């Protein structure tokens, strides 16, 4: 909009809505105006001081941002505005002003500043501002009744000029509160600790035992394995593995799965391949179906995986039930697994399958 207006000195944008204008759009709008000395953006609906104004419009002497929704600004915001002499921020949402919000260099250059009609929080955090406000009356516009406290409740509507805080008073208040809270908290805490330790003495012994147990298990889980998951499945379910499981767990989530037909070495004994792959896998997924229960190799892999988990003191076996398994064909091993572990059923509806895979992945990674 302002390309070509490089020598513009004064600009008023008041009462224009900037509600949906982001930082990039602000930069495109104001960057060409680096010679600007006066800018009015009152009632523009902005919630923060535009970065482009404080970073690029360094020759501004007069800046008005009245009646917006500005609550605060980060330290260093005004560092580049060494020419700023008049600043108008009345009628915003400013409750507390940190000392580094106005560097000492900026305060020395300011001839006029208006922060009236803001909801000030009159606590010790505002002490430095109160001192600046009371000792520099000439630079503050609308000095009298327009500067009032909004909180705490005991100070609401009181004019800032009548708020009497001091460094000593604030320090005493903080120390007194700290001592009272510390003593009371210590007494209550000590009583609770003693009571809990006595009542939970046997649980604590068990906790320390289990903590050592968990640390040993975690060391085992953190080991570097060739495969994240070893898949135990029937060869008749290979199509489901390649079409449904691999695209999500490997291609999308980046896990490394061990699939017999893909990862076993050709010409090597099946038993050797299974044993090696099981010991090179962190966890296991059992894909249960009616054909699974009929294959002896499947039962062997399940037994071996169960033994490997026992040796590591881990329980890293997830069960996917592709279909209802006929009880007449169910082996003792599979029956025990389905009775003692939760299993996830493969949904028939396509809409439910995204949730199915996400739930499975959460089970694997937690």
8 A C-beta contact, residue 231 and residue 241: yes
Among 193-197, 267-271, 295-299, 352-356, whose mean pLDDT is lowest? Answer: 193-197
Across 242-267, average pLDDT: 92
CA 197 from centroid of its chain's CA atoms: 35
Q: How many CB atoms lie within 10 A of CB 290?
A: 17
Between CA 272 and CA 286, with CA 317 as vertex, the angle to 5 degrees is 70
CA 84/CA 81 separation, integer angstroms: 6
Helix (H, G, I), strand (E, B) or coil at 165: coil
Across 50-60, average pLDDT: 92
pLDDT at 154: 87
Residue 283 to residues 227, 263, 298, Cα–Cα distance (Å):
8, 16, 16
The CATH homologous superfamily for domain 220-365 is Toll/interleukin-1 receptor homology (TIR) domain (3.40.50.10140)
8 A C-beta contact, residue 141 and residue 116: yes
pLDDT at 164: 85
Across 284-293, average pLDDT: 90
CA 89/CA 78 separation, integer angstroms: 13
Return residue ranges of the chain for CATH 3.40.50.10140. Answer: 220-365
CA 238/CA 246 separation, integer angstroms: 10
CA 63/CA 92 separation, integer angstroms: 14
Q: Give pLDDT tens digits for 161-175.
A: 888 887 777 776 556
CA 182/CA 187 separation, integer angstroms: 9
Model confidence at 152: pLDDT above 60: yes
Residue 21 to residues 44, 120, 214, 359, Cα–Cα distance (Å):
10, 28, 53, 40
CA 33/CA 10 separation, integer angstroms: 10
CA 136/CA 98 separation, integer angstroms: 17
Return residue ranges of the chain for CATH 3.80.10.10. Answer: 10-165
Across 221-246, average pLDDT: 89
The CATH number of 10-165 is which of 3.40.50.10260, 3.30.70.260, 3.80.10.10, 3.40.50.880?
Answer: 3.80.10.10
Q: How many CA atoms lie within 13 A of 186 on its CB side?
A: 6
Nearest to 101 by CA among 52, 49, 149, 141: 49
pLDDT at 17: 92
pLDDT at 217: 64
CA 108/CA 103 separation, integer angstroms: 9
CA 266/CA 264 separation, integer angstroms: 6
What sign does the dihedral 23-55-71-86 (CA atoms) show? Answer: negative
pLDDT at 249: 92
Model confidence at 210: pLDDT above 80: no
Q: Give pLDDT tens digits for 107-140.
A: 888 999 999 999 999 998 899 899 999 888 889 8
Q: What backbone phi and psi angles, to 5 degrees, belong to 281?
A: -115, 140
Model confidence at 213: pLDDT above 70: no
For 261, counting Cβ atoms within 10 Å of its Cβ (0-12 exposed, 13-18 middle, 19+ buried), the class is exposed
Residue scoring higher pLDDT (336 or 66): 66
CA 142/CA 136 separation, integer angstroms: 13
Question: In terms of DSSP H, where are the helices of the chain?
Answer: 23-30, 51-56, 104-109, 127-135, 167-199, 201-221, 238-240, 246, 260-263, 270-279, 296-312, 332-340, 353-365
Average of per-residue pLDDT values in the chain: 87
pLDDT at 68: 95
Across 142-166, average pLDDT: 86
Give the contacts of 333 (CB within 8 A, at least 6 positions apart).
299, 302, 303, 306
Across 41-68, average pLDDT: 94
Q: Give pLDDT tens digits for 57-105.
A: 999 999 999 999 999 999 889 988 989 999 999 999 999 999 888 888 8
Which tokens hold the place of 241? Answer: 């593995």
pLDDT at 216: 63
């Amino acid at each position: 909009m302002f390309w070509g207006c490089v020598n513009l000195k004064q600009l008023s944008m008041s009462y224009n809505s900037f509600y949906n204008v982001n930082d990039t759009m602000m930069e495109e709008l104001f960057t060409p105006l680096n010679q600007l000395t006066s800018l009015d953006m009152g009632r523009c609906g902005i919630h923060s001081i535009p970065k482009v104004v404080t970073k690029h419009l360094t020759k501004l002497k007069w800046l008005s941002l009245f009646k917006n929704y500005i609550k605060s600004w980060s330290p260093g915001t005004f560092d580049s505005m060494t020419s700023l002499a008049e600043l108008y921020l009345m009628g915003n949402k400013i409750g507390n002003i940190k000392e580094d919000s106005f560097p000492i260099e900026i305060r020395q250059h300011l001839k006029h500043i208006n922060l009236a009609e803001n909801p000030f929080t009159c606590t010790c955090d505002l002490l430095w501002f109160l001192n600046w406000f009371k000792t520099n009356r000439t630079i503050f516009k609308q000095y009298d009744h327009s500067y009032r406290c909004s909180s705490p409740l005991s100070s609401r509507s009181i004019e800032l000029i009548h708020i009497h805080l001091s460094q000593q008073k604030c320090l005493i208040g903080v120390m007194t509160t700290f001592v009272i809270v510390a003593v009371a908290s210590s007494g209550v805490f000590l009583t609770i600790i003693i009571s809990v330790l006595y009542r939970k003495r046997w649980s604590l012994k068990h906790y320390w035992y289990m903590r050592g147990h968990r640390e040993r298990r975690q060391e085992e889980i953190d080991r570097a394995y060739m495969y994240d998951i070893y898949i135990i499945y029937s060869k008749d379910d290979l199509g489901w593995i390649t079409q449904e499981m691999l695209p999500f767990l490997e291609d999308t989530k980046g896990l490394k799965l061990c699939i017999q037909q893909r990862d076993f070495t050709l010409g090597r004994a099946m038993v050797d391949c299974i044993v090696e792959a099981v010991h090179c896998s962190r966890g296991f997924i059992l894909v249960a179906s009616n054909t699974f229960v009929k294959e002896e190799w499947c039962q062997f892999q399940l037994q071996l995986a169960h033994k490997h988990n026992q040796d590591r003191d881990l329980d890293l076996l997830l069960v996917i039930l592709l279909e209802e398994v006929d009880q007449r064909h169910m082996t003792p091993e599979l029956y025990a697994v389905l009775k003692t572990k939760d299993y996830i059923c493969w949904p028939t509806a396509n809409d439910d399958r995204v949730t199915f895979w996400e739930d499975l992945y959460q089970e694997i990674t937690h």
